[in-house]
A and B are shown apart, each in its own frame.
Chain A
Amino acid sequence: DAGVIQSPRHEVTEMGQEVTLRCKPISGHDYLFWYRQTMMRGLELLIYFNNNVPIDDSGMPEDRFSAKMPNASFSTLKIQPSEPRDSAVYFCASRPSTGNTEAFFGQGTRLTVV
């Protein structure tokens, strides 16, 4: 398996624009997580899904953030409108429901909002 795949790797956008980050989890993994990494706050959990259903979105900072998982092999994190303080690295991770308990991370998307 190619691992968790995120796109794009880098995104630079202007304030007010819509940004969509994409994630393909490892096949067969039932859990999908979105994390945000900043210098100030470290790794924060934004939202996670189990079997494509959002379980906990309490980490989503504002209504400007939304996430979807239309099927088992694809998830998006959308920011609309984007603001400079949204600049961070966004990670997607997946995990199976049985067996190994660790999460497998993608390479991340570095978002810069100017």
Chain B
Amino acid sequence: AQSVTQLGSHVSVSEGALVLLRCNYSSSVPPYLFWYVQYPNQGLQLLLKYTSAATLVKGINGFEAEFKKSETSFHLTKPSAHMSDAAEYFCAVSESSGNTPLVFGKGTRLSVIA
């Protein structure tokens, strides 16, 4: 079975500060990993994904994440937070076969303070 743990249900940063959202996964097979963003009253939008190519993955809106197998982690970072980054962020895992559903973490709400 696969699972995802997101450390911190709520993270608050100042505008211009580093954003770090933590994600650890558990998987018995090689995983695919994803970060999604959800704005209020919206669906989930893909930020970036790891599918066994480069371990450092760049996504939209200046976000990136690094797959670290030894740490079973896939933390999301952005060098400088913007007010528009305030949203809910979800980490998800699936099997690398691509034939299994995505399993999501509980989410981390990011607040950006002016």
Contacts and interface: CB of A to CB of B under 8 A. Distances in A.
Interface stretch (B14-22, B62-70, B75-83, B99-107): B99-107
Interface of A: 4, 31, 33, 35, 42-43, 45, 48, 50, 56, 91, 93, 97-98, 101-108, 110
A105 B45 contact: yes
Contacts, number: 46
Contacts of B36: 105
A42 B43 contact: no
Nearest first, the 6 closest Cβ-Cβ pairs linking A and B are A105-B43, A42-B106, A43-B104, A105-B44, A101-B98, A107-B43
Interface centre among B32, B41, B45, B98 (most CB of A within 10 A): B98
B94 interface: yes
B61 interface: no
Contacts of A108: 42-43
Contacts of B102: 33, 45, 102-103
Given A43-B90, A45-B101, A101 B45 contact: no
Contacts of B34: 102
Contacts of A31: 101
